[in-house]
Amino acid sequence: MNRHSCLERRRAPGLLVTAMLLFLSPVPALPAATAPDDAQFRAQYVRQYDLIKSLAPDMVVEEMRLRVELVASRGSQVGAASNDRRVRGFESALLKSLQNALCPGGKPLAAPPARPSPMVIDSVTVAANAQQLRTLGGDLAELTALAQRLVDSQPPARWCALKSLDEIR
Amino acid sequence: MNRTIIACCCSVLLLLSYLVVGRATQAQISSEPGTRIWSKLQQAQLIDGYYPEVLLEIAQTLVEAAPGTWRGVQVNDTYRSGWLNLYQIDATRLRSDTLLSAEGLENFTPEALRGGALAHEDTGIVFLNTAAWKRFVAATVMKQTGVQSDLTAALAEVDAVGLQAARKYWDPATLNRDTAEMRRAGWLLRGAAAFVLAHEMGHLLIGRSPAAEADQVRLKELTERQKDERVACPETLPGGFQQQQRHEMAADMAAVQLLGRQCRLGRDGELRHNIYLLGTNWYFLFAMGDKLLEMGRNTTSPVIEKALRGLIGSELYQRAVADAAQKVRRGAVSPAFPKTHPPDYARILAIEQALRNTPCGGSGLDASGAQLMEMFRTRMCSSLTAKQGLK
């Protein structure tokens, strides 16, 4: 009885210590998902979407790569750096997240989501977090517009079958 | 039973208070981002002292050119607020892109450090990548000792064999030999280090770039080749990158203010000024050579292949370029004209022009290689903008 109660009491402080450690550990700040009804976000999203809506889909991919690279290349180095690895990482994470959201069970969603779709916003946020990209100002709204335009440019079944954004034409 | 419970509780309380006090002390010590960065660099075992005494000496001469800006200079030591803090790190040991994200350095990646240095304006830290420097040193020594007749070929050889196999060309045992070749290599490298450090100190002086202006998307359809070409042309480069290029140019101009006063500092000022100019020139030759190799790795152009084979030889071309080519070759223009920095030709001309207006003056920077690239770029951009109906 004594041994048992002491073990129980030992287990509880262990949990408490773990909780305390977790509480005290610094958590890196990540960009939070922005609500689609935020007026500034929406204005930036609409402006960007209008700018790109006449572009060919492969040019939208190109614009997205440049936009991600702009975020990734913020800094002060003497010579230029290639951010291709992080741009590609963002792309893969975005495609995977969008397909998970828009193609449950590998099949396209029956009803088209609202624009800007919260799923697209979340997917952009997930992809940015995956590459530890610090999105500032209009980054998230503009990347969401580019991602939303890509989704809109492809038939749903085609979108669900994409292996890479390179396949978008 | 009561004594056991009390003992258990006391142990837990002691442990908790130890943890809390320890954490609080640590938080107090690490409250400054610079201190946290220094601590993280040590924990990740990234610090790699490579001629720190030479770096300190160069940095002190540059700090002297901006009196009242920094309280002092330190290399690979405890972070000091208000000082110029220099950390030599080996970027090949970096295992995570996010090591310094919490301190506001999202681009602390091997790629960003490939050019040799990176500045953090918020803390006044300059990181110098020793892996990039050793590559540069090895290629310089190969060129100066006649192992390779050209700096680009020497860089290709280091890339082909790897940095460790090329050790004898960057090892202090070789560099410290008192020979004419090593003395000349020393001047070139010392001068190049001065330019790189001055550029990064320039970033610290001018501060962070203002918010980038909005992108203007105007190009509706482009071929794969034109997608590569557009980044070299100001008319078609997104506004955010144009802003970055202006900021990098401003850092060069701030660097010129530090370099252009050296002749007035100390008895050996005139000699030092000449060495720093010689090294600035050498750095741009290195940057051009590096770009040529990257162009070869990113293109299937037979013209570029032929030119590179002629420059570095077919055997080295195979080992350093063809065998190291990118899986997806997106074109040679992006590596030649990076989006974030002005073209080398524009940088060299602007630096030379600005140096003329400093107390020490300056001329003789070699822009001939960059000039050929600039002619190619201008022609390409005219054609691209004409096709897109842009002026």
**Stretch 169-228 of chain B: residues touching chain A, C-beta under 8 Å:** 196, 199-200, 203, 208-209, 211-212, 214-217, 219-222, 227
CA distance B168 to chain A (A): 26
Higher model confidence: residue B20 or residue A87? A87
Residue B16: which of A20, A56, A62 has the nearest Cβ? Answer: A20
Structure tokens at A40: 């500034």
What pLDDT does residue B305 have? Answer: 94
B262-320 pLDDT, tens digit each: 999 999 999 999 999 999 999 999 999 999 999 999 998 999 999 999 999 999 999 99
Q: Is B166's Cβ below 8 Å from some Cβ in A?
A: no
Chain A residues within an 8 Å CB radius of B19: 17, 20-21, 24
Q: Which of A35-39, B66-70, B153-157, B214-218 has the lowest mean pLDDT?
A: B214-218
Residue B215: which of A55, A67, A76 has the nearest Cβ? Answer: A67
What pLDDT does residue A8 have? Answer: 41
Handedness of CA A61, A63, A67, A70 (dihedral sign): positive
Position of tokens 């078609």?
B236
Higher model confidence: residue B8 or residue A134? A134
How many residue contacts between A and B have a Cβ separation below 8 Å?
147
Q: How far apart are CA B275 and CA B283, in angstroms?
A: 12
Q: How far apart are CA B255 and CA B206, in angstroms?
A: 10
Higher model confidence: residue B369 or residue B256? B256
Q: Which of B32-41, B136-145, B360-369 has the lowest mean pLDDT?
A: B360-369
pLDDT bin (cut points 50, 70, 90) of residue A21 is very low
Chain A residues within an 8 Å CB radius of B340: 73, 80-81
Q: Which of A157-161, B40-44, B117-121, B217-221 has the lowest mean pLDDT?
A: B217-221
B28, pLDDT greater than 60:
no
Higher model confidence: residue B174 or residue B231? B174
A12, pLDDT greater than 60:
no
Q: Is B295 helix (H, G, I), strand (E, B) or coil?
A: helix
Q: Which of A8, A20, A48, A77 to mutate to test the interface with B (most CBs of B within 10 A)?
A: A77
Domain boundaries of chain A, sorted by first residue: 36-167
Residue B107: which of A54, A74, A138 has the nearest Cβ? Answer: A74
ipTM over 0.85: no
Q: Is B297's Cβ below 8 Å from some Cβ in A?
A: no
In contact, B46 and B95? CB cutoff 8 Å: no
Express the helix, strand and coil content of chain A in percent, nearest 5 each.
Answer: 65, 0, 35
Of B239, B383, B312, B241, nearest to A83 by C-alpha is: B241
A5, pLDDT greater than 50:
no
Q: Is B35 helix (H, G, I), strand (E, B) or coil?
A: helix
Residue A76: which of B106, B116, B121 has the nearest Cβ? Answer: B121
Taking CA–CA distances from B239, the nearest residue in chain A reads A70
Q: Which of A18-32, A38-52, B138-152 has the lowest mean pLDDT?
A: A18-32
Handedness of CA B90, B95, B98, B102 (dihedral sign): negative
Domain boundaries of chain B, sorted by first residue: 32-129, 131-387
Express the helix, strand and coil content of chain B in percent, nearest 5 each.
Answer: 60, 5, 35
pLDDT bin (cut points 50, 70, 90) of residue A111 is low
pLDDT bin (cut points 50, 70, 90) of residue A25 is very low
What pLDDT does residue B327 have? Answer: 77
Q: How far apart are CA A91 and CA A68, in angstroms?
A: 9
B43, pLDDT greater than 50:
yes
Q: Which of B3, B40, B98, B111 to mutate to test the interface with A (most CBs of A within 10 A)?
A: B111
What pLDDT does residue A13 have? Answer: 46
Chain B residues within an 8 Å CB radius of A169: none
What pLDDT does residue B216 have? Answer: 60
What pLDDT does residue B143 have? Answer: 98
